[in-house]
Structure 1
């Protein structure tokens, strides 16, 4: 689940180049290093990140004669479930993509399984080039809580959620594209009255809980987010924001804005239904953007969730260097290459949200819109992370409890009580 920012100085690029050359040894020796950089990530090759990282591999090998990159494609769930065991063994890769947040990268850092990157971040300028909102997920304290402490990961893209609109379906049914939240609910109602379920949804995975969290965010502020995500105060799941979210989400299911049958569908099902033109609206992340550019055969557009200063998002998944990595110097060099303007610009043009691109170099109109909206969010400190982040195991709780809310097996009050119980059991004591 589920977003980053900007600008690299030319001096940093020159510095990173000198560091790369230094790590390769004297060029007169032919650069016959003979080492292998073991790289794990789970981005699809046709995604923006996948395309950028493939180019980064080529760049790395060109700058490191005699060094080969052994890329192993891993699934997101595979890495999530096996990381603690693998990283605690001699089979750990040199660098890998890992999910950010307290329950994931934070947990690994607390267990001593990740390399402290603080010195590298300062030396290579990574700490200067990530905005505060993106930097939050790079740093973890001794308890594994994000936002302060040592650097254990580097995000080189960002992500955020938005509303994807199928403009052709809006035109077909004579419904105006929303500009405000009242417009959005009017459109949802108009589609439902015409027999069209307006919102693509995946209740078996993250999609449904992110709809609900966004509804809560529309009634929240930064201090609310900090209490929930960073434990800066007590979180009350029966407050006005959470109560509004649970009641509104349940109401939307009853009204047919969200299909009760989507309780058992996955995120992929929701994305594919939108690609196939079956649903006029999908609320989800920028991680779909490049794929939609390639596969959606209709006119479409995006917008930030209307009427809310906050939305789900953060820096992207992290490059982490396992404590047991054999070639840490090569891992640092590879990370540095992914932060170069060349790779960042490519990521942006392919539909990703780069953190260090030259905005004027992005040529694709939709990609420019994606980055413009992100800049809007960034300026207003609008990234509110994800609902499953705060505590270990909370993702599964959110999935199962939100499914019950969709089927009517749980009422909003009971749903919020279940979340409160699970959160309080696992969160640090205030």
Structure 2
């Protein structure tokens, strides 16, 4: 899955590059000019937050939970609002967004996953690719619409209308509309400019927050519901308003909730729920508690089995390394190499450490209680270091033996 980085650079999508990189830089430049000339007050803060959270809701309720997963139904008036505001996020037409999301869930963590973090062996490269790199190469997120997407959503007239007029809508929602909002609130040309600038900045910030779902939520967090790279990241709630419960979402993508537990804050869930109480949403898909618990138990069993396999593998590795130590002790007895005492001491130290690890592994396997990844990784690192040290010692011994023979 380690495709050429240079090949992707040459295949850059200029439209996406401008939308995701150049335009935000222009906004930041204008921000610096603005704050050096005018004060940053309540109006500017309000516009910034409004731009951010309106875009957030459009992505969560529209692009994600309505069109990509069909987790609820709504009327055409609400859908029209979501169509317009989702275009304002500059994340591509809804049909394209949904198409890429279908692929992500169908082919998670494989080569066909558009933004898999496993594309590169280097984790930093994988992070950057999953965050926004994938959008800036080839068709990215602006043109790639699969046939299956058209089968599922192609009859939706509003989505076809948005696809046809995507850029006029997107540009208007990022220029004229924000300026009008600013003017309505402040009544001056400066407030109109503030509307354009700060709503745009809020939208740009939210854009990055959405991308965190593809990057951060596949690198950090907990995995209670399904294995793979998807994770629940509670501390991203304030940025994502519920999209941060990504592991649950991958386990139950058709559920209108991402945070199923009462303590898992999910604003998008509550908005949809309140809409249903007002008759604005219906057919809310809900995964039963029994199924959720069963999935959690299945995941626990899978994790336990994997942990036990790793422990047993390390136990065999420790035995193997112990045998190597014994072999080196025998070689030292019949050798006239220089610094025999030093090497003997090093071997004794490694053997002592291996015995401690062996005891720890035996205890973990005998009284198996599904140890944490942190504990297993810690033991694995110790074993790896000893293995590397023994190889170095082996090379050193051979070199000194060669010198003596010469």
TM bracket (short chain) = under 0.3
Considering Cα pairs closer than 8 Å and 6+ residues apart, tell me whether 1 or 2 has the greater RCO.
1
More strand per residue: 1
Q: Which has the larger radius of gyration?
A: 2
More helix per residue: 2
Given the two structures, how large is their TM-score scaled by the length of structure 2?
0.27
